[in-house]
Structure 1
Amino acid sequence: MPIDTLPSMTQSMRASRSSFSSSNGHEEVPFHSAASVSNGDDYDSDGSNFAPSTPSALSMAVPAELAGAIPLIDRFQVEAFLRMMQKQINSSGKRSFFSKKSVGTQVREKFTFEDMLCFQKDPIPTSLLKINSDLVSRATKMFHMILKYMGVDSSERVTSVGIDERVELVLKLYKQTLKRAELRDELFVQISKQTRNNPDRQNLIKAWELMYLCASSMPPSKDIGGYLSEYVHNVAHSASDSEVQTLALNTLNALKRSVKAGPRNTIPGREEVEAILTNRKLTTIVFFLDETFEEITYDMTTTVSDAVEELANIIKLSAYSSFSLFECRKVVNGSKSADLGNEEYIGLDDNKYIGDLLAEIKAAKDRSKGEILQCKLIFKKKLFRESDEAVTDPMFVQLSYFQLQHDYILGNYPVGRDDAVQLSALQILAEIGFVCSPESCTDWNTLLERFLPRQIALTRARREWELDILSRYRSMEHLTKDDARQQFLRILRTLPYGSSIFFSVRKIDDPIGLLPGRIVLGINKRGVHFFRPVPKEYLHSAELRDIMQFGSSNTAVFFKMRVAGVLHIFQFETKQGEEICVALQTHINDVMLRRYSKARSVANGSVNGDVSNNFKPPSLEVYEKRVQDLSKAVEESQKNTNQLLGELHEKQKQELKTQEELECLKNALRKEKEDLM
């Protein structure tokens, strides 16, 4: 149905062909530059074939699924698009390109905003949205690729497009739009246009398939995303075709995830697109610190957070909030074996796509010339928290043990000789259990070398270490493997820098000359700890209460902290500044929460104490009543006694006064007697 217009508005449109009415019907918004260029030829139109695009009129004319687009009318170049489409229709001798049923017995002659967002099988002359003029030609080419993907031919023929060609078309669309927000919005609007009033079921399914692929790799802008989500939601919950409904639901879920995580950083690979088209999952390997691994599945939309949740379910880890994925990089020069300490663990953002991560790892390997770069995904804890000690989940304890053991073997926990012997014996016991003659085991020498940090092992003869460790091991006959792990964890946790997360940094500014050029930072619940990396040596600690301020950039981190009562600012070069600050802030939050909980429990205890004091067991009521009566009697007696004592005191005062008066009279009488003599 055409939208009726006011005469004054029609005259305004005729008077100015390069403008159209804005939402309030009074202001005039200039046409997009592409429309101005296109209207500069001999084509003449008085606007009689176009209905104006005021939201008040649109709200009465457009169907419910387009209601979300009404507030965005200024984003669309409605009149310019319809004018150029009319020219294209006239030049081709066709009645209409838009797939919309006529109302009543007559064919409509006016085209509306709804027509603009209906399926058409012919190319579009300009973009649907107002975009930069440099991008208009790209927008029209995108629509051509959409038509080709759907198998739509303007000559009424249905063309079949194979999966390889569809993948190529999708990758071209990704290349055009992934880094251009304007074209992303245009792409989503173009595809949604092809899903409305599409008369061919196969074409419709292909359009929704393409929508799903695009939503899986990138989100639209906030305003277009709101309209698109509403439209897709309506289709997902009202479509009669089950296949269309499934694709719409998948698209809706993909939109939610891409809006949260943002667009892909790299163009998705061919295998990722094929996986979605064939409804299958890709797989990759995630390692643990004990060199075991698990296989996880992923697709184009899978993020690190999704992978962590899947992996936790696989290994039956219920408390996984403090775990995440890390990228482990290790460089091996020539034929030299990899040094255990030459590992770099890069924390991964929860919203990072697994596909992007694997592509970046592959690119890093390709760039490493003359070196062997080993890259793998590692599942480990982001940080150790005080609440970890209360967790009894066996898998949680085991993974915590592996991580602390890994850090200890790397030398991150400098300990004395006696502790080193104890820790080595506990690790051997946790590994093989208790046996009468462990030295007779074929891998005994390997166990000694594996569980004694290299730097500590060099401080004395190997045989001396072996005898001490054997003696300590034999004294642990009563311990199980689990007991040995728990004791190992307990010893490391009691160290001032125990249960730390470690970061290698380079000094930028040290105002007191305390630190070497390269240092290792340890962050735990007690504060920040500084170590010399080679040889590993503990240098200094700053407690949480001494750290007044901290912050980070992409390449550095700083601490404003108190040293010997004086505030100093230390700066360090690192790409892990955000992780350092997050770890510190988490521990500070834990301390504040603990204090708050303690204060609250004390307050609740006082209230509970008052309540318990007010509670009177029935068996004590008679006794308490008797006590109250006796107390009252005692009070009365005390009152009477006080009254009598008061009266006695008053009589004593009167007696004293009378005695003083008597003495005065005696003195006066004596004086008079002396005067007479």
Structure 2
Amino acid sequence: MKYMGDYPSKRTRSVNELTDQIFEGALKAEPLKDEIFCQILKQMTDNHVKYSEEKGWELLWLCAGLFPPSNVLLPHVQRFLQSKKHHPLAPDCMQRLQKALRNGSRKYPPHLVEVEAIQHKTTQIFHKVYFPDDTDEAFEVESSTKAKDFCLNISSRLLLKSPEGFSLFVKISDKVISVPEGDFFFDFVRHLTDWIKKARPAKDGIVPSLTYQVFFMKKLWTTTVPGKDSFADSIFHYYQELPKYLRGYHKCSREEVFQLGALIYRVKFEDDKSHFPSIPKMLKELIPQDLIRQLSPDDWKRSIVAYFNRQAGKSREEAKLMFLKIIFKWPTFGSAFFEVKQTTEPHFPEILLIAINKYGVSLIDPKNKDILTTYPFTKISNWSSGNTYFHITIGNLVQGSKLLCETSLGYKMDDLLTSYISQMLTTMSKQRNSRGQSK
């Protein structure tokens, strides 16, 4: 009644304060779902106050996008909507009901974006998605959109050969978190903002504003082969591998560094040689940071220019592919790297670089970049993470060894490990099934 203006309410509220109060209970207790539908329909029946009725339509639109009514109530809700089919929102509510019946119930009340959309009389919600090559595009997101549908939609618009291995990520405050493919997109964002709000209490009664960005990136590199999908190479693989290379995470020969430096220059400037004189100033963008001091700036420049001239006539896209093909030969290609501190393994350095990739979990000496050991996923029996740590058990729980790491990125390591292992198990069961059928 407060939302529809039928009950006087003086104070101004945040956009979704009332919608939270209306829908939170119903999302926790099944019987209340029908109750909410009944209350809204009752409030809209023979309602002669135009403003109140319009606000009722907003609530019905939101409700239909959150959960379906029970089979007993469904025909009544549908009849109500059919009787009002001249109202612009009626057909849209009908469609939302169908999708809710197909996709199941959401877990959280409507996201701020959904409430604002319907209050501004727009039933289409567009969301900006950012890509590693610094471009972005807007995509339509519905209340019923799950992360998997969103990924499919993005990959088909970008003409990628397959969405496999790609994921949506939400960047909020200092965290970048991958969205599980089975989650409703708005549920995930809602859950995340609520969780961060709890962790950061309001200062002087001011709730911190939590803006977030959505990224679409390659997450699992199990089947990635440069040259197999030129759009994926050009938009994602090159721009995701470049910063890891420049941070000095890979072990590589000087010859490769000259070659890669020339290719990075070519991606930046194509055939334009007018930037040669400034190469010494931009070594940070061309050479792994820990190697820059090994040669004088002029020596670096001379070697990069020599290699650049050998690759004459190559386009930007060819240079990206050549860059990826060189890195692809290294055992650390497609890794996510984490710098951690460990105290459990006396024969390993205290500061370790951990790479998680398609081969498993590799421990790397950060000084010389040697791979000390790689634990394949099949040997990892347990792992856990918290705000300040990541723990992993190799072998069985009784005789296995445990590696304890101090890191603030435990949540990312945990998520990657879970995703790679679940992908491995899915692949194994598919192979088993196809072998069973072929017998």
**CA RMSD after TM alignment:** 4.6
Residue 308 of structure 1: how far off its partner (Å): 3.8
State the one-letter code of the partner of 1:379: F
State the identity %.
17
Among candidates 319, 325, 332, match of residue 484 of structure 1? 319
State the one-letter code of the partner of 1:356: R
Task: Report the count of equivalent residues.
Answer: 418
Structure 1 441/345 Cα, relative in aligned 2: closer, same or farther at 3 Å?
A: same
Structure 1 519/378 Cα, relative in aligned 2: closer, same or farther at 3 Å?
A: farther
- Match runs of 1:22-61 below 5 Å: none
**Where does structure 2 lack aligned partners over 5 or more consecutive residues?**
204-209
Residue 522 of structure 1: how far off its partner (Å): 1.7
Q: Distance in 2 between matches of 1:175 and 1:536?
A: 57
Q: Which residue of structure 2 lines up, in the alignment, with residue 462 of structure 1?
A: 297
Among candidates 335, 349, 363, match of residue 180 of structure 2? 349
Matched residue SS, 2:325: helix
Q: Which residue of structure 2 lines up, in the alignment, with residue 427 of structure 1?
A: 264
Kept in 2: contact 1:544–1:588 (CA 8 A): no
State the one-letter code of the partner of 1:426: L
Q: Which residue of structure 1 lines up, in the alignment, with residue 132 of structure 2?
A: 289
Q: Distance in 2 between matches of 1:165 and 1:476?
A: 68
Kept in 2: contact 1:150–1:207 (CA 8 A): no
1:214 partnered with 2:63? yes
Q: Distance in 2 between matches of 1:422 and 1:199?
A: 76
1:549 partnered with 2:381? yes
Q: Which residue of structure 1 lines up, in the alignment, with residue 307 of structure 2?
A: 472
1:278 partnered with 2:120? yes
- TM (norm. structure 2) is 0.74
Among candidates 351, 359, 381, match of residue 526 of structure 1? 359
Q: Which residue of structure 1 lines up, in the alignment, with residue 243 of structure 2?
A: 406
State the one-letter code of the partner of 1:541: T
Q: Distance in 2 between matches of 1:593 and 1:183?
A: 37
Q: Output one character per residue of 1:530-587: Cα deviation in whole Å (capped at 9) or x when no partner.
A: 2355x57344232527615244456665544369xx9523344612313322123424
Q: Output one character per residue of 1:211-253: Cα deviation in whole Å (capped at 9) or x when no partner.
A: 222344x547xxx6554556545656x5463437415314415
Structure 1 204/491 Cα, relative in aligned 2: closer, same or farther at 3 Å?
A: same
Residue 322 of structure 1: how far off its partner (Å): 2.2
Residue 189 of structure 1: how far off its partner (Å): 1.4
Matched residue SS, 2:290: helix
Residue 454 of structure 1: how far off its partner (Å): 1.0
State the one-letter code of the partner of 1:289: P
**Where does structure 1 lack aligned partners over 5 or more consecutive residues?**
1-143, 153-160, 332-343, 605-677
- Match runs of 1:247-396 below 5 Å: 247-253=92-98, 255-256=100-101, 259-264=104-109, 268-269=111-112, 272-280=114-122, 281=124, 285-296=128-139, 298=141, 304-305=147-148, 307-312=150-155, 314-328=157-171, 345-350=176-181, 351=183, 352-353=185-186, 356=190, 359=193, 376-386=213-223, 388-389=225-226, 391-396=228-233
Residue 383 of structure 1: how far off its partner (Å): 1.3
Structure 1 389/145 Cα, relative in aligned 2: closer, same or farther at 3 Å?
A: same
- Match runs of 1:36-115 below 5 Å: none
Q: Which residue of structure 2 lines up, in the alignment, with residue 569 of structure 1?
A: 402
More displaced 10-residue stretch of structure 1: 280-289 or 359-368 = 359-368
Q: Which residue of structure 2 lines up, in the alignment, with residue 513 of structure 1?
A: 346
Q: Which residue of structure 1 lines up, in the alignment, with residue 206 of structure 2?
A: none
Q: Distance in 1 between matches of 2:202 and 2:353?
A: 26
Q: Output one character per residue of 1:160-190: Cα deviation in whole Å (capped at 9) or x when no partner.
A: x99x999979732423542675677436414
Larger Rg: 1
Q: Distance in 1 between matches of 2:55 and 2:107?
A: 24
State the one-letter code of the partner of 2:411: K
Q: Distance in 1 between matches of 2:212 and 2:61?
A: 32
1:241 partnered with 2:77? no
Residue 495 of structure 1: how far off its partner (Å): 0.9
1:174 partnered with 2:20? yes
Q: Distance in 1 between matches of 2:288 and 2:371?
A: 19
Kept in 2: contact 1:323–1:379 (CA 8 A): yes
Matched residue SS, 1:569: strand
Residue 327 of structure 1: how far off its partner (Å): 3.7
Q: Which residue of structure 1 lines up, in the alignment, with residue 37 of structure 2?
A: 191
Residue 381 of structure 1: how far off its partner (Å): 0.8
Structure 1 393/319 Cα, relative in aligned 2: closer, same or farther at 3 Å?
A: farther
Structure 1 368/304 Cα, relative in aligned 2: closer, same or farther at 3 Å?
A: farther
Q: Distance in 1 between matches of 2:350 and 2:25?
A: 40
Structure 1 185/440 Cα, relative in aligned 2: closer, same or farther at 3 Å?
A: same
Kept in 1: contact 2:377–2:421 (CA 8 A): no
Kept in 2: contact 1:215–1:258 (CA 8 A): no
Kept in 2: contact 1:232–1:252 (CA 8 A): no
State the one-letter code of the partner of 1:469: I
- TM (norm. structure 1) is 0.51
State the one-letter code of the partner of 2:379: I
Q: Distance in 1 between matches of 2:198 and 2:288?
A: 31
Q: Distance in 1 between matches of 2:227 and 2:78?
A: 44
Kept in 2: contact 1:561–1:567 (CA 8 A): yes
Kept in 2: contact 1:178–1:184 (CA 8 A): no
Structure 1 182/542 Cα, relative in aligned 2: closer, same or farther at 3 Å?
A: closer
